[in-house]
Amino acid sequence: MNIAYQGLFLHEGLKLLGHNVIDVSFSKDEDIQKTIEDLNCKIDFILIELWGDRILPKELFKCKYTLVAYCIDSPINEFWTTQLCRIFDFVFVDQKQSVYNFLQHGINAVWLPLCIHETSFCEINPNKKYDITFVGTTSTNRIKRKNILALLQQNFNLNVIQGVSHSQMMKLFAESKIVLNENLFSGLTLRVFQGLASGSLVLTEEGGCGVDDYFRNGEHLLCYNPDNLLRICEDILSSYDSYADIATNGYMLCKREHTAKNRASSLLEAIQDKTAFNKRPDTALGNYHETLAKHLLIMRYGGQLNNTISKFTELTTENNYIAAGAFSELGNIMARHSKNELAEQYYISSLNKNNTIQANIKLALLYINTEKIQDAKSLLQNIINTFSVQNKSDYGDIATLIERSTDSADLLFVVALLYFSCGNLFSLGFLKPLPDKYPDTAFEAALLAWNKKPIPAAMNLLLDCLKGFNIEGEMLPQLLEAIQKVQLTDRQILRAAEIAKQYYDIDLANNIITAFRTSMKKS
């Protein structure tokens, strides 16, 4: 079997299974069909790993070869991969939670966990130089990670390393009693497999989605939470020999079942029996999804929009569904570049093709941002009357909130509630370079509302948007500032303390509680 492959995780495994793997790289200015034909050999399928700022070729949707996608760090890339994967024949995701999320977009995806290359396994090293080692970035934006590392540094000898090669990392892991793992999202991440393959004891966060499917806490690795992290580390370091069997068990299981060869075999089986199969859309719809995916990547990472604008303009001549989406995206582009009259024309054209909640909301945002408050109120009220939006919410009657709105902050809060009612809560990986005045999610709209008018209801909505992703702690800086400015209710202050504890900032949690009790006594 000849496989054209852009990626690295399954390369070695496919070769070990006896297949010919041809490494390919793509140019954004060359169509994929030509790239593959220039290889001058029969290709059974093209396998592409999708993650981050991936360079994509032109006109994937026209490719005549079988396309296979393997989505890496899938939860933080869903904002664009759920569009692009619609034009792939077979779809795999590295995190279990993405199987359900992709299905909500009509994509049949198979969970194919990450793995470790056969050549990466270390010899088990009984002589440990380090107590606890963490290898990874330590950006201040990763609040939970920063807190965990600070907590451990206060109590143990913690070895924090970044910017090393894979072989150097594996050597460091093998020389450590504990390999520490922390995740932004709940999942079975690569660092778990790397730690197991080093022969050392892996300590990972409790409740990681998919971890229990393959590994047992206390038998193959150990799991921690805010209540037991320090105690577990103290127990391990005071009697490491009693935990050595756990490390060995994890190592042996990983070597037996979680190699690149194992994963490559699973991928080929899922292709053969078609459990990961998806029927491709027609050419026009495929063109739309590819253009939208590339547009989202530009919004996230930057780039030129000229080609995107041309593509969407061409698509406005297609059927109503595609034309409506294309007009709406053109409206978004023009609105974000303050070309308001043109944006309004595009949004109205979108509504004329297909009257959707999304296009109505974007037009309302245009009116809000141009201070046409009454026009925005009328349009938002029309959404309540026209679409099956649940008017009653935990934040009150939405129609009444619209009627009582007096400024843009009030109406942005209403937009956030409408997004929330539609399930557009938050995109984990869609961190736009600047605040977006034309947001796509409830969290973004609520944050705009909060920044204009910091009312408790807006903060509640922000936290509710993040709750389902288990990342409420990302709001800790705003919560702390709001507490200092007396902008939160008593209930929210106590919630902030609980969130701080969940994010391993025990001192902050205690300080909030102490200050709260003091203020209660004074009152």
Domain holding 175: CATH number? 3.40.50.2000
Do 57 and 188 share a structural domain? no
Q: How far apart are CA 95 and CA 80, in angstroms?
A: 16
Shared-domain flag, residues 104 and 157? no
Inside any domain, residue 286:
no
The amino acid occupying position 63 is: C
pLDDT at residue number 429: 87
Domain residues for the domain of 47 are 2-115+262-272
Given 272, 302, 330, the domain boundary residue is: 272
Is there a single domain that holds both residue 29 and residue 127? no
In a domain, 96, yes or no: yes
Q: What is the DSSP letter of 259?
A: B
Centre a 10 Å sphere on the Cβ of residue 138 and count the other Cβ atoms it contains. Answer: 12
Residue 179 falls within a domain, yes or no?
Answer: yes
The amino acid that residue 465 corresponds to is C
Q: How many residues does the chain have?
A: 523
User: Which two structure tokens, joined as six digits, stand for 63?
Assistant: 């490719």
* pLDDT < 70: residue spans in the chain: 522-523
Is residue 227 in a domain?
yes
Residues 7 and 105 in one domain: yes
Tell whether 75 and 136 lie within a shared domain: no
323 phi and psi, to 5 degrees? Answer: -60, -40
266 and 249 in one domain?
Answer: no
Residues 39 and 88 in one domain: yes
Q: Quick one: pLDDT at residue 6?
A: 94
| Domain-ending residue, one of 246, 272, 298 | 272
Compute the distance between CA of residue 245 and CA of residue 236 in angstroms, rounded to an integer. 12
* Pairwise CA distance, residues 271 & 178, whole Å: 38
Say if 241 falls within a structural domain: yes
Residue 522 has a pLDDT of 67
* pLDDT of amino acid 433: 73
Alpha-carbon torsion, ordered 124, 126, 130, 135, to 10 deg: 10
Return the pLDDT at 523: 60
How many distinct structural domains can be found in the chain?
A: 2
pLDDT for residue 28: 85
Whether 189 is covered by a domain: the verdict is yes
Which pTM was predicted?
0.94
Between CA 398 and CA 393 the distance in angstroms is 7
* Same domain (yes/no): 106, 202: no
If asked whether residues 130 and 193 sit together in one domain, one would say yes
CB 315 within 8 A of CB 282: no
- Give tens-digit pLDDT for 253-277: 999 999 999 999 999 999 999 999 9
- pLDDT for 152-195, tens place per residue? 999 999 999 999 999 999 999 999 999 999 988 889 999 999 99
